[in-house]
Amino acid sequence: MIFMDKVNWQKINNLLPVIVQHATTCEVLMLGYMNPEALEKTLAEKKVTFFSRTKNRLWTKGETSGNFLHVVDMSLDCDQDALLILVAPVGPTCHTGEDSCFHQFTQQGTSHWTWFAQLEQYLAEKKNADPTSSYTATLHSKGIKKIAQKVGEEAVETALAAVSQDKPETLSEVADLVYHLTLLLHHQELAWEDVIAKLQERHQGIGLHPEGSNK
C-alpha cells in the first residue's frame, strides 16, 4: 500500500498525476491529479478523490453522479512521482457517458483482452434478464443442464473441426464454445477471473495440467 511519505511531493509541486485503470478489464479510465490531502482521503475512504485544479478543491469522483471509483489496489511508479490506481467503477467514468475518458481512438479502440472482459460483463448482465430478450437470457432460464449440454455439443464440434484441420471452422466453434462456457461459469456464480486464478495457482504449484508439472 502507498504511504504518504513515499511520494516525491517536492518534485511534482504537490500535484501527483494519477492514472485510473479498471481492475478487471485493464481499460484506462481517466487521468487526474491528487495533492496530499486528496491522496490521504482516497487511502482512508477507498474511493478515488482528486484535487480539482480549476475549482481549487478536493472532489471525490462520483460525488454528484454516483459513479464512484472504488479502490482495489495502487502503485507508485519507480520515480515515486506518478500513481496508478486499479478500481472497480460504478457506472461510466467519463462525464460523456462513456466508460472511459479515453474513447476517441481512430483505429482499434481497445485491446482484444479488454474487449473480452467487457463482453463478459455484458453477458453477466443478461443472466437475470427477461428470457424473451436474448438467447443468453433464454439459456439461463432453462438452467444448468441445458447450458452444460450446449457446452458439450460445442466442445465436440470444436474437436471435430480441429481434427479436420479446418481453421475457419475451428475458430467459429471455439468462439461458440467460449461463449457457452462463459454462460456456464456465470450460472454457477463464477467468472473467467476465477479460471485465471486457478491457472495461476497451478502454474505456481503443481503445473498447468492437474496431472503434470509446468516444467
CATH number of the structural domain spanning residue 19 = 3.10.20.810
121 in the same domain as 75? no
For residue range 150-175, list pLDDT tens digits in order.
999 999 999 999 999 999 999 999 99
Query: Residue 87 above 60 pLDDT?
Result: yes
Written as nine digits, the cell of 25 is 478489464
| pLDDT at residue 65 is higher than 70 | yes
Query: Which residues pair with residue 52 across a beta bridge?
Result: 57
pLDDT band, very low/low/confident/very high, at 215 (cuts 50, 70, 90):
very low
| pLDDT attached to residue 4 | 82
pLDDT interval class at 104 (50, 70, 90): confident
Same structural domain for residues 116 and 85? no
Cβ atoms of 60 and 44 within 8 Å: the answer is no
Residues 6+ apart with CB under 8 A from 7: 16, 36, 39, 76, 80, 81, 83
**Cα separation of 208 and 200, whole Å?**
8
Same domain, 200 and 140: yes
Q: Are residues 85 and 120 in the same domain?
A: no
> How confident is the model at residue 105, as a pLDDT?
78
* Total domains in the fold of the chain: 2
Domain that holds residue 16: 4-89
pTM strictly above 0.75: no
Evaluate if residue 207 carries a pLDDT over 80. no
- Judge whether residue 109 has pLDDT over 80: no
